[in-house]
Amino acid sequence: MGAPEFDFCVVIDDDEDILVAARLLLRNLFAEIATFRAPEDALPVIQARRPDAVLLDANFARGATNAAEGLAWLGKLLAVDPDMVVVMITAHGGVQVAVNAMKHGATDFVSKPWSNERLLATVRTAATLRRSRGAVSTERAKVAALAQPVSGETPLLGDSPGMARVHSLVARAGPTDANVLILGENGTGKELVARALHQASLRAERVMVTVDLGAVAETLLDSELFGHVKGAFTDARADRVGRIQAADGGTLFLDEIGNLPLHLQPKLLTVLEQRQVTPVGANRPVPVNIRVIAATNLSPERLRDERHFRQDLLFRLNTVEIELPPLRERREDIAALVDHYLALYARRYDRPVPSLSDAARAALVAHDWPGNVRALRHAIERAVILSSGGPLVPDDFPLGPSRPRISPEAIVAPGAIADLNLDRAERRLVEEALRKHGYNISLAAAELGLSRAALYRRMEKHGL
């Protein structure tokens, strides 16, 4: 006989014979079973131990048949823990009692005299549900902590025509449950738009779960998104709730959706169409209630290439499409962004807000910012950290285009250049790879032989 599947069960019934029978029948299913003849005796144990399952008699008073006392105690137990699973024990033929119990929150019911097989199956299912609810709650707590925006994070700043259109679309689409696809180059603020949409929605009080599909290894994506059950594969030592299920009731933000492999795209399409997810290795789907926001830096042409992205999935994702303009196309917003980041990083590093010379302000506005708002943010942060207290001047900012552009071939060719400084050579290589691939991080990282995370670190290091 193997180890019990679950830890702890409570059985409450005023009939001692019922308690003995339940204890004998369930002893291989639970490591520990506590029995009580009165609910008030069981309550302190339930509060302290939070059992995997509770079996509760519907009637305790002699001659009672209306289940009023059992239903009252059912309410008290669920008040202690709304995720608790309670199986009601009803008299033979008490169909109406069972129906009322289910309406009041009971997970299931069994009738006296019970079938042993029926009781075992019912309690096992209830305890499995309890475990699943606990896993979902734990995962939600994890992703909720991860999903909290950084204090003082940038709002959607900008009054340019391009940003005015973005603000208008967020205001109109936010309160709906429509799926939204956000398009834009890296660093334009796609995640900020996703958060603005979530905050404007009826789901604002629920969690927003973010998955960066470009940062998760392809071999792990299936389990990360959809979850898995114990034994689904070699390292699956326990059930795992996927990010889709963890977002139930809230918003799922799929960043870099263009990196979702073709073989997983039909599975995501099924989730969107049927509103249910099947974990890896599971036999039954789990219903989910989610709003999906996706983002990509892919061009519309590449996104609409069937060889790269399924068009039926794209149709499901882009009920509303929001395109974020690059910073070079909304220069009138740069001044407001600069002032915001100067104040933000001065607070963060406990420095006075530095002043900005007219020349520096003009240089920042004239710069093309190939890394968009992210690059501007890094440049401002660096300048604040290194500020000596005087007004910031153009040389305080790493404005790349003022430097000659050198191809990777020239960098590695013997005698091609005199500057052999490794840091500067690395910066030139990174800049060239980014320009060559239109600032597509995945493609640039692949050409450089780096992971996306490693490329982001080098971009931050060099203020790109």
CATH number at residue 13: 3.40.50.2300
Enclosing domain of residue 43: 6-134
Predicted pLDDT at 90: 84
Name the nearest CA neighbour of 298 among 238, 265, 255. Answer: 255
Task: Examine the domain organization and report whether 74 and 209 are in the same domain.
Answer: no
Predicted pLDDT at 234: 66
| 308 found inside a domain | yes
Predicted pLDDT at 308: 86
Predicted pLDDT at 24: 92
Task: Examine the domain organization and report whether 306 and 212 are in the same domain.
Answer: yes
What is the three-class DSSP state of 130?
Answer: helix
What is the three-class DSSP state of 36?
Answer: strand
User: Quick one: which H or E segment has residue 7?
Assistant: strand 6-12
| 146 found inside a domain | no
Name the nearest CA neighbour of 198 among 152, 241, 144. Answer: 144
| 258 found inside a domain | yes
What is the three-class DSSP state of 322?
Answer: strand
| 144 found inside a domain | no
Q: Given 264, 294, 325, which residue is the final one in a domain?
A: 325
Task: Examine the domain organization and report whether 314 and 191 are in the same domain.
Answer: yes
131, 239 in Cβ contact below 8 A?
yes
Task: Examine the domain organization and report whether 341 and 419 are in the same domain.
Answer: no
pTM over 0.75: no
Please give the structure tokens belonging to residue 428: 């030139």
CATH number at residue 354: 1.10.8.60
Task: Examine the domain organization and report whether 108 and 34 are in the same domain.
Answer: yes
Task: Examine the domain organization and report whether 318 and 334 are in the same domain.
Answer: no
| 142 found inside a domain | no
Find tokens 């692949």 and name the residue.
446
**Number of structural domains in the chain:** 4
Q: Given 325, 348, 363, which residue is the final one in a domain?
A: 325
Task: Examine the domain organization and report whether 435 and 336 are in the same domain.
Answer: no
Q: Which residues contact 175 (CB under 8 A, 6 or more apart)?
A: 200, 201, 202
CA pair distance 126, 103, nearest whole angstrom: 16
182, 295 in Cβ contact below 8 A?
yes
| 201 found inside a domain | yes
Task: Examine the domain organization and report whether 127 and 69 are in the same domain.
Answer: yes
Predicted pLDDT at 393: 92
Task: Examine the domain organization and report whether 181 and 316 are in the same domain.
Answer: yes
35, 22 in Cβ contact below 8 A?
yes
Please give the structure tokens belonging to residue 191: 């995640």
CATH number at residue 197: 3.40.50.300
Task: Examine the domain organization and report whether 18 and 62 are in the same domain.
Answer: yes
| 284 found inside a domain | yes
Verify cis geometry, omega within 30 degrees of 0, for the bond prior to 113: yes
Q: 34 - beta bridge partners?
A: 10
Show the low-confidence residues of the chain (pLDDT under 50).
Answer: 145-152, 401-416
Contacts 24+ apart (CB under 8 A), 217-226: 218/261, 221/260, 221/261, 221/264, 222/264, 222/267, 222/280, 223/280, 225/264, 225/268, 226/267, 226/271, 226/277, 226/278, 226/279, 226/280
| 149 found inside a domain | no
Task: Examine the domain organization and report whether 319 and 330 are in the same domain.
Answer: no
Predicted pLDDT at 184: 93
∠ CA(307), CA(312), CA(318), 5° rounding?
105
Classify residue 31 as exposed, middle or buried by CB count within 10 Å of its CB (0-12, 13-18, 19+). Answer: middle
Q: Given 75, 102, 134, which residue is the final one in a domain?
A: 134
Q: Which residues contact 149 (CB under 8 A, 6 or more apart)?
A: 195
Predicted pLDDT at 40: 93
Task: Examine the domain organization and report whether 391 and 422 are in the same domain.
Answer: no
